[in-house]
Structure 1
Amino acid sequence: MKILKTNYILIVLCLVFATSCESFLEEEVRGIIDPSTFYQSDEEAVLAVNGIYLNLRQNGFYGNWQGVHTFTQLGADELESSRQFGGNEPMQNYTLTQSNYSNARQLWQLIYRMIGDANSVITNVENSPNISEAVKKQSIGEAIYLRSFGYYHLSNLWGDVPYYDEEIPIADAASLGRMPVNEVRNNLVRDLKRIETDNLLPDSYTGSDLGRPTVWAAKTLLAKIYLWQQDWTNTRTECLSIINESPHGLLPGFGDVFDVNNPFNEEVIWAIDFQKDVPGNAQDRTDGFNPRLRDEPKDPADRGPLSQALAARNEEFNGYGLTVPILSFIDEFPENDLRRPYNVLSHYLGFELTFQYLTKFTNFDFVNSPRGNHGEATLIFRLADVYLMLAEAENELNGPGDAYQYINAVRERAYEPDQPYAGMNQSELRTAIQVERRWELAGEGHRRYDLIRWGILLETVKNAEYRTYDPGSNIQPHHIRLPIPEEEIILNPNLLDADPSNNGYAN
């Protein structure tokens, strides 16, 4: 592909220039810089990389509950809206068309913007003689990781998608057709393996660099891509490496993983850091999980006493209270599972609530985490997920024998006394792993992807019980993929060349 010949590139100028102790995410757009005069120092390379992260923080991506969370958390058997809410209805209720879901187009555009930013960084940093080798390697490593993470979501949600990994003229990018999804994933495998082979990312970070991906984040993403490819051998290899060689470990308590005061704990492999009181950086995803007082408690007469009880703790029910567990999730979650209280909040301070909430993503501290200004990290990958991926791969390769130890390591903190699995055949353990992932990773953005790659999304949705919507009556086989947004097709008709049906939505 051709290298971009345009004269200007949007570069983020970070507040690091003024206050080196601040987080690398505390930045804002200052202007348009000519790339021929930029990339002249290590500091400028770091600033350019920091700019890539801006895309992740946008509301249409990870900034709020209407971004990528809509497509990974809703439309499965975990979460739904507690009331009719038009913005997410097409995904929740499987009434998707090519033209009725602006959220999908916003996510599509943000991911491709991030990919374009990453390509620009890689090209210009590689070609600059003024950047030190250490900064050059890490800058390229971060850009490759973030580009791969973008294509991971694109390929999972849309299947065949336009793919490019170099800077190209805007007109060329805007006319690309779709690459087969297996080719896209093979390219991601190549790139993510390069991160380890060329030693592009470190083992860990400290201080203001927390939130950048490590080599272990890259290996986790690689293992997930291998899962989609059903490459069980390489999935096992990557997961074993993470478990045996990384600095990460399982925490003794499930609830400790979600401590907002310790978001980069030992179990967390990668989380996206958000900063309170930084314009354009603080996230409001938490508001989607936080109850609102006008909905609670169940007995209206308790509203005043609950409000007083909350105020005594410097707390408020001041969110949207939209994202709640579906009815069958609540009914089926084992009562004796120690993870249940962190996934099903039905009472608070002795008051029965109207709805049940996903406890682990609530935060009622309105002093330190006010509505619309949450300085919290959004969890992406953690080690328990890796253990369960390893159990799945080992079971598919060799049956239950060596797979038990990995699923049981996760279950050990979920039951008292312990309830390890044993005596199953391969099919039985396969089902047990699928169920275990539901309880362990609820709301963390894996479930819908899991159901699609297992080939059981349709039957699962049809058999689930929902409070507000009836997706089981609407879901069709083509709903395992999203339609390419109609606006994008108008701009680039080549998107339909390989598939005029647009993933089945044009039929």
Structure 2
Amino acid sequence: MNYRKYLYGSLVIAALLSSCSDLEEDPYGLINTGSFYKTPSDAESAIIYAYSILPEVGYYSRGFLIITELPTENLTQKGDAGVSNFELDELRTTSTNADLDNIWTYLYRGVARANAVITNVPNVPNMPETNKNQIVGEGYFLRALHFFNLVRLFGEVPLRVDNIVEASQVPIAKSSIEDVYKVIIADLQQAETLISSQKISEGRANKVAVQALLSKVYLHLASSKNSNSPGYGFVANADEMYAQAKTYSGKVINEQTAFGFTESLVDIWNTEIYKKAPVTEHIFDAAVDRTGEIESNYSKLPNMFLPADRRMVIPYDPLVPTSTNINIGQGWGHFRTESAIYNSYAADDKRKTQLIVSQYKGEDGASYTLDINGNARPFTRKYIDPLRVGDKSSANTPILRYSDILLVYAEAAGPTPEGYAAINKVRARAGLGNLDPSLGVQAFRNAVIEERALELAFEGNRLFDLRRTNSMEDVLEHKYNKTITSGAYFFPIPQREIDTNPLMKP
């Protein structure tokens, strides 16, 4: 989805919906709305503007993966990366961490844009009610997504749910984790009543995306309570939350046909397939297009994974001898795969043999092998665009993927026939046998978490899975010999927010 083509010539929107997180800006969003939200076209422009925050460099096209992948056993960074990257990787984050400050800013910009849609679009005259509901529902979905990211990253955060119209609204205290989740769930339940099941376009949410996100919200609450994860003592009953997670993930699996399971692993990540297929695994992505004019229209995210010191040619499917070759060029080598995740895969797991590039051909036609302990390491091909133009890529960042929700369903259902069927479907595609059929409830759910680690690697899920299962120390310290100094379950609130928001001070 090329968001920018809707925005050029609409500078009034940028002023009107300015960030409510950047406290150094004046007038902090205090713009008269009288000249806007007058036509259906204005409403459409506003929701497109709200979506356009997602593929920004500071959010899903780079920043989000820096925040969520570096602290885990999946990725480390190159040797000359910034101090903030090393803090995240080494789990010693501080309130002055620039990467945390960056993601905080983008998340609240997203909240502000969603609030503007929710507040103003209902009053647009001469607009069909169905169209109005759709756009407002998408605003609720986006606000819930941003707050879900905020609460999982930082815990107690300011709950900005009003459009800012005067300066006195700017200072706001933190809300409890419980209150943030109440808003997330209410927003998604409201969105479900407003949004159509029909797909609008790539990069926009429909009812299935709402149900998928709601299933993840309920699962996070359920497993956090079940494992006594810090901050979730308010959850009254884990079993009730598991039941809700199963209900909503079940809607995604059993009650719609727009999204589904892709049998071929490599096809899941082929931009020329998942962007055009009538049925796809990509329920909701931060969508980009290589024909865009600026970064955030297109993505440079693949460069973060590709080694910097060599140009490479790889087969489209390394398990098919006659497979077409792809010239994938080279990147920046910023993200380096850790041996912990690489060695966690069974040798014949197709998610390793097909989706992690460890062998390639150079420009000289010779074959080479990447060393997991070297500078240029094996890397994921999930973000490879075979038709990239220079640095311009159409590789979306997945936010909600069908296999993710299938594993949500398995975890929520537990060791039941339907729970086993869901996880075994994912395992079969990877070329693995069925899971042990005699597992108890907790052992089964632990097995699902491990399956998620392998299936969803490099997609920004692992940190949250470790946090909600209260296993940061067990996995990262005890299993992989890392040291956690700070930021295990919640990152520190950025110092800039504390300094400029007087109600945030202790």
| TM-score bracket for the superposition, by shorter chain length | 0.7 to 0.9
Q: Deviations over 1:122-152 (max 9, x none)?
A: 2111122232212211110111111111101
1:205 aligns with 2:199: yes
Give me the CA root mean square deviation. Answer: 2.3
**Is this contact kept in 1: 2:312–2:327, CA < 8 A?**
no
1:455 aligns with 2:465: no
1:51 aligns with 2:88: no
What is the TM-score when the length of structure 2 is the normalising length? 0.82
Q: Which deviates further from its counterpart, 258-267 or 141-150? A: 258-267
Q: Which residue matches 2:305?
A: 289
1:89 aligns with 2:96: no
1:171 aligns with 2:188: no
Q: Which residue matches 1:162?
A: 158
Amino acid at match of 1:422: P
Amino acid at match of 2:335: T
Output the CA distance in 2 between the equivalents of 1:340 and 1:478. 30
| 3-state SS, counterpart of residue 157 of structure 2 | coil
Amino acid at match of 2:377: Q
Output the CA distance in 2 between the equivalents of 1:408 and 1:325. 26
- Label 1:357 to 1:364 Cα distance change in 2 as closer, same or farther (>3 A): farther
Output the CA distance in 2 between the equivalents of 1:313 and 1:342. 14
Q: Deviations over 1:193-217 (max 9, x none)?
A: 1122x2x2222326xx221011111
**Is this contact kept in 1: 2:40–2:124, CA < 8 A?**
no
Amino acid at match of 1:26: K
**Is this contact kept in 1: 2:467–2:488, CA < 8 A?**
no
Q: Which residue matches 1:267?
A: 281
**Is this contact kept in 2: 1:292–1:317, CA < 8 A?**
no
Q: Alpha-carbon deviation of 1:476? A: 3.4
Q: Alpha-carbon deviation of 1:262? A: 2.0
**Is this contact kept in 2: 1:287–1:371, CA < 8 A?**
no
Q: Alpha-carbon deviation of 1:167? A: 1.1
- How many residue pairs match? The answer is 443
Aligned counterpart in structure 2 of residue 326 of structure 1, from 338, 347, 353: 338
**Is this contact kept in 2: 1:46–1:135, CA < 8 A?**
no
Unaligned runs of 5+ in 1: 1-21, 298-311, 501-507
**Is this contact kept in 2: 1:317–1:364, CA < 8 A?**
no
**Is this contact kept in 2: 1:126–1:136, CA < 8 A?**
yes
Q: Alpha-carbon deviation of 1:357? A: 2.9
Q: Which residue matches 1:406?
A: 422
- Label 1:61 to 1:89 Cα distance change in 2 as closer, same or farther (>3 A): same
Q: Which residue matches 1:7?
A: none
Output the CA distance in 2 between the equivalents of 1:51 and 1:150. 15
Amino acid at match of 1:353: L
What is the percent sequence identity of the aligned residues? 26
Unaligned runs of 5+ in 2: 14-31, 223-240, 314-323, 362-366
Q: Alpha-carbon deviation of 1:364? A: 6.7
Q: Alpha-carbon deviation of 1:275? A: 2.0
Aligned counterpart in structure 2 of residue 379 of structure 1, from 387, 398, 401: 398
| 3-state SS, counterpart of residue 49 of structure 2 | helix
**Is this contact kept in 2: 1:216–1:242, CA < 8 A?**
yes
Aligned counterpart in structure 2 of residue 72 of structure 1, from 64, 68, 75: 68
**Is this contact kept in 2: 1:90–1:96, CA < 8 A?**
yes
Q: Which residue matches 2:370?
A: 353
- Label 1:313 to 1:339 Cα distance change in 2 as closer, same or farther (>3 A): closer
Output the CA distance in 1 between the equivalents of 2:76 and 2:355. 14
Q: Where do residues 209-228 of structure 1 align in structure 2 (5 Å cutoff)? A: 209-228=201-220
- Label 1:216 to 1:453 Cα distance change in 2 as closer, same or farther (>3 A): same
Q: Deviations over 1:316-336 (max 9, x none)?
A: 532012223211212221112
Output the CA distance in 2 between the equivalents of 1:275 and 1:172. 40
Output the CA distance in 2 between the equivalents of 1:401 and 1:332. 27
What is the TM-score when the length of structure 1 is the normalising length? 0.82
Amino acid at match of 1:288: M
Output the CA distance in 2 between the equivalents of 1:249 and 1:32. 40
Q: Alpha-carbon deviation of 1:157? A: 0.3
Output the CA distance in 2 between the equivalents of 1:163 and 1:287. 35
Q: Alpha-carbon deviation of 1:391? A: 1.1
Amino acid at match of 1:214: N
- Label 1:72 to 1:393 Cα distance change in 2 as closer, same or farther (>3 A): same
Output the CA distance in 2 between the equivalents of 1:104 and 1:424. 39
